[in-house]
Amino acid sequence: MKFGIFAAALLAAPLGFGATAHAEDTLVPLHWQSQGTFGSYDQAALQRGFLVYQTVCASCHSASAVHYRDLTALGLTTEQVADLIANIKQDNQPVTLNSRLIGALPKAQAAATFGGAIPPDLSNMVAARPKGVAYVYHLLTGYQPAPADVTLMAKHYYNAAYPGNQIAMPAPLTDNAVTYADGTKATTAQEASDVAAFLSWVSDPNLDARRQIGLRAVIFLIFLTLLAIATKRKIWRDVG
Amino acid sequence: MSDQTKTWLGSRLPIAHNIGNQLSRKPLAANQPYLAALGMLITATLLFLVLSGVVLSAYYVAAEHRAFQSIQLIMRDVNDGWLIRSFHATGTTMLFAAVYLAIFRALVTGSYRLPGELVWSLKLVFLLLMLLVGYLGYAMQDSAVSYWSLHGVVQTGAGLASFPANIFNWVFGGPAGPGTLTRLAVMHGLLTFIALGVLALHYFAKQAITPPAEKTVPLHPYYTSHHFVAAGVYVLLFAVLVFFAPHLGENPLNQAPANPLLVPAVTTPPWYLLPATALTHALPGTNGGIIAFIAAFAVLFGMPWLDRSAPGARPGFLYKLLVVVLALDVIALCLVAAAGPSTINAVLTIVFIGWYFLHFLVLTPLATARELN
């Protein structure tokens, strides 16, 4: 079934672009730099993804396990992060570096707006789904007109990637919803790809450190094991 | 240690000195395979889990709806907390892999046969304790899947007859409520120390029945260097999993917080609990699952007597082949349990569990009796 959703989303994604994207848009980024055994985060994509999160997602969704101070991991200095969050407010108060990433809309109000569905916290969204980073991407690009035989529930939208295909969240991303500082063209697919990368960092902020330490640890242990084998052979030589 | 320190320690604390001396000179059979290090590796892993568990307990909050947040704190804000937790989670995977392998090895080599019945029983007691400790640790995470699993288990316990319910209340502390996770955390630690005691008993019981070998070598430096190789490979595998697959065999939903309003569609437990889960879901009703679980362990405990071979006979090819088929059967059972409930899976579960009991109650006595002649 998992494969079915994945395949359906794969087939559906280009159709979705056809309706909204530009003719020259050929971006189908089904690969993220952090995937694979030795992958690491693409910090430029994470920074773009944070911009999408803060501009679009944060209206309703929190990522409360993360503090703004943690954003230095995206390759920014503390001063740059402070500049970045200067205009962000929570409960009409400016946020500080130690504030958590909390959605602007109170949960009850958001639920009332979206037909009773509470916007989930995004702290572990990528980790808690199979193939989470691709799932988020396909969800965000999976909005389509409902097929003729599907009757949508009130305040629900048709989404090819969402289990059950009826989602209470309206399509959040549009072309040029944000303006990227690095000049990257802000297509819907690009925004979805970047915010999926950002949310995978939110789910697993230690991935880079883990793999760096891991590589050194494994190389050391291979050397140590070879040494142990040589020692054992030498000691046991006369036993036969 | 310098000679001066040795003399001083020997005169002030002779027992430590003597145990060290005797252990290092202990004669051991010269032809042991690398798998003979499994007992040492299991003990070391359990001690490592105690150590990492003690560090985690400094930050873990054993309370419903706060436990998950405290684990998030460990993973994200505590310095190197993610590493310690990964050690603890992956250590559990390594421990269960080693225990299942040790039990498979005992079945293949026939070491459960008389006079090995007590050593064999202690292995099974250890596995039972580890299943319980492993389950408690899983439930303590208060995740989207473990929350519902725990509530199911506690409800099952509440429906039991008086005698098992007493044990049940002792472990789980009655109905799920504000104090449940605190009680689980206490039992999680306590049962671990009892399991360490069982490991010690297993060691001494094994010493008592090991026949004198024709050719022996002293433990040091021969088996210290030998076990160092086994430990090197084991720790290498451990490190690969810690750093490159920290969530191996885990339901992704275990990384989402508990939602008391939403029962998850896929409730797969960690891989090491799959055999037990498949058994408890095999028969209908509350008692059916418990009967299947008890029966599955009863036939394991009965192995020394279900085996009809002559004393001292080596296990034959047919019997060994059957044990390998049994291992494949249990793996297939786990895969079916992981795939989730469906009509076909319900049938397959019954087939695989049926083969399990057929193996112990019919095929083993037949195969071993044949080898008698």
Confirm if B195 and B128 have CB atoms less than 8 A apart. Answer: no
Is pLDDT above 80 for A57? Answer: yes
> Which chain B residues are Cβ-neighbours of A224 within 8 angstroms?
232
Q: DSSP readout, A14-76?
A: HHHHHHHS-TT--------TT-SSS----HHHHHHHHHHHHHTGGGT--EEEEEGGGGGGGT-
Can you give the pLDDT at residue B112? 95
Which among B235, B67, B170 is positioned nearest to A224, based on CA atoms? B235
Q: What value of ipTM does the predicted structure carry?
A: 0.90
Which of B94, B244, B248, B344 to mutate to probe the A interface, most A CBs <10 Å? B244
Whether B18 maps to a domain, the answer reads no
Residue B146's pLDDT band, with cuts at 50, 70 and 90, is very high
The answer on pLDDT for A54 being more than 60 is yes
Give the per-residue pLDDT at B341: 82
Spatial distance between the Cα atoms of B304 and B320, rounded to a whole number of angstroms: 15
Q: CA of A137 to nearest chain B CA: how many angstroms apart?
A: 17
To the nearest whole Å, the CA of A60 is away from the closest chain B CA by: 19
- Pair (B226, B361) in one structural domain: no
The verdict on B112 and B60 lying in the same domain is yes
* Residues A65-84, mean pLDDT to the nearest whole number: 94
Helix axes A2-20, A188-203, angle to 10 degrees: 140
* Same domain, yes or no: B236 and B327: no
**What pLDDT score was predicted for residue A30?**
76
Work out the average pLDDT over B48-74: 95
3-state DSSP assignment of residue B141? coil
Instruction: Please report the pLDDT score of residue B173 as a whole number.
Output: 66
The proportion of chain A whose per-residue pLDDT surpasses 70, expressed as a percent, equals: 88
Looking at the fold, whether B257 and B322 belong to one and the same domain comes out as no
Domain co-membership, B275 together with B253: no
Rounded Cα gap, residues A127 and B112, in angstroms: 43
Q: Give mean pLDDT, residues B25-29.
A: 91
Query: Is residue B10 assigned to a domain?
Result: no
Where in the sequence is the domain holding B292, given as residue range(s)?
270-373
Count CB-CB contacts under 10 A for residue A3: 8
Report if residue B134 sits inside a domain.
Answer: yes
Residue ranges of domains in chain A: 2-205, 206-240
Q: What integer pLDDT is reported at residue A193 of this predicted model?
A: 94
B108 with B203, same domain: the answer is: yes
Q: Is B235 on the interface with A (CB under 8 A)?
A: yes
pLDDT category of residue B303 using cuts at 50, 70 and 90:
very high
Mean pLDDT of A141-159: 92
Q: Are residues B286 and B304 in the same domain?
A: yes
User: Could you tell me the CATH number of the domain that includes residue B187?
Assistant: 1.20.810.10
pLDDT in tens, B178-232: 788 998 999 999 999 999 999 999 999 999 999 889 999 999 999 999 999 999 9
- Residue where a domain stops, chosen among B238, B261, B284: B261
Residues 6+ apart with CB under 8 A from B269: B135, B138, B145, B146, B149, B251, B277
Of the listed ranges A34-43, A222-231, B79-88, the least confidently predicted one is A34-43
B217/A239 Cβ within 8 A: yes
Task: Examine residue B25 and state whether it is found in any structural domain, yes or no.
Answer: no
**B12: in domain:** no
B176-180 own/partner pairs: CB under 8 Å, 24+ apart: B176/B64, B176/B150, B176/B151, B178/B63, B178/B64, B180/B64, B180/B150, B180/B154
Q: What is the mean pLDDT of chain B?
A: 91
Mean pLDDT of B92-97: 98
pLDDT tens figures, B257-273:
998 888 888 889 999 99
pLDDT computed for residue A223 by the predictor: 98
Q: Is the pLDDT higher at B267 or at A50?
A: A50
Q: What is the structure's pLDDT at A89? A: 84
pLDDT computed for residue A9 by the predictor: 41
Give dist(CA A201, CA A45) in Å, integer: 11
Phi, psi dihedrals of residue A94, rounded to the nearest 5°: -65, 140
Domain count, chain B: 2
Q: pLDDT digits over B51-61, tens only?
A: 999 999 999 99
Q: Do B252 and A128 touch (CB under 8 A)?
A: yes
CB contact under 8 A, A229 and B255: no
CA B27 to CA B223: how far, in whole Å?
10
Report the mean per-residue pLDDT for chain A.
86
- Which option is the CATH number for A2-205: 2.60.40.420, 1.10.760.10, 3.40.720.10, 2.60.120.330? 1.10.760.10
Residue, of B251 and B170, whose pLDDT is higher: B251
**Cα-Cα-Cα-Cα dihedral sign, residues B81, B87, B88, B90:** positive
* pLDDT at residue B364, as a whole number: 94
Does B138 map to a domain?
yes
Say if the Cβ atoms of A228 and B228 lie within 8 Å: yes
Do B214 and B276 have their domain in common? no
Beta strand A100-101 with A166-167: parallel, antiparallel or unpaired? Answer: unpaired
Same domain for B220 and B290:
no
* Residue that terminates a domain, selected from B261, B293, B322: B261
Say whether pLDDT at B22 is over 90.
no
Confidence at residue B174, expressed as pLDDT on a 0 to 100 scale? 64
Q: Are B104 and B140 contained in the same domain?
A: yes
Same domain, B248 and B101: yes
pLDDT band at A29 (very low <50, low <70, confident <90, very high): low
Q: What is the mean pLDDT of residues A132-157?
A: 93
Mean pLDDT of B91-116: 96
DSSP classification of residue B1: -
Q: Look at strands A166-167 and A157-158 and give their pairing.
A: antiparallel
Contact between residue A53 and residue A195 where contact means Cβ atoms under 8 Å apart: yes
Work out the average pLDDT over B289-309: 93
Q: How many CB atoms lie within 10 A of CB B190?
A: 13
Question: Are B310 and B355 in the same domain?
Answer: yes
| Closest by Cβ to A225, choosing from B72, B233, B256 | B233
Q: Are A221 and B239 in contact (CB under 8 A)?
A: yes
Q: How far is B254 from B273, CA to CA, in rounded Å?
A: 14
Residues on chain B touching A214 (C-beta within 8 angstroms):
239-240, 242-244
**Where does a domain end: B261, B289, B319?**
B261
pLDDT at A3: 41
